[in-house]
Amino acid sequence: MANGGEAQSILVVNGTVYIAGYINNQGADDAALWENGMETTLSNGMFATGIAISNSDIYICGRSNNNEAIYWKNGKAHILGIGGATGISIGN
């Protein structure tokens, strides 16, 4: 997080550490995922707030700067509508 930012959620699966959060990129917030310290930007103008894994799929929830709820499945964004998502859980 060299530009600043915040970790919002952490998950450890089979020794791999996953962190969802955001980085500050020259004044704008970008949703991010860290996998064992390797950073991936998910979307610009977004915040990632929760993370879950099912099989090999990585699900992350959050919100946009425009107050839209969003989730990512394997890095692909899906807008849900007005609001925000702060937690995520996968059931069998």
32-62 per-residue burial string, b: 16 or more CB within 10 A, e: under 16: bbbeeeeeeebbeebbbbbbbeeeeebbbbb
State the pLDDT at residue 3. Answer: 67
**Residue 92 clears pLDDT 70, i.e. is over it:** no
Report the C-alpha gap between 86 and 34 in whole angstroms. 18
Is residue 91, in this structure, part of any structural domain at all? no
pLDDT at 86 over 80: no
Distance, in Å, from the CA atom of 19 to the CA atom of 33, rounded to the nearest integer, reads 6
How would residue 1 be classed by pLDDT, with cut points 50, 70 and 90?
very low
pLDDT in tens, 14-68: 999 999 999 987 777 899 999 999 989 888 888 899 999 998 999 999 988 888 8
For the chain, the domain total comes to 1
Residue 13 tokens read as: 């699966």
Q: Which residue range forms the structural domain that includes residue 53?
A: 5-82
Q: Is residue 89 part of a domain?
A: no
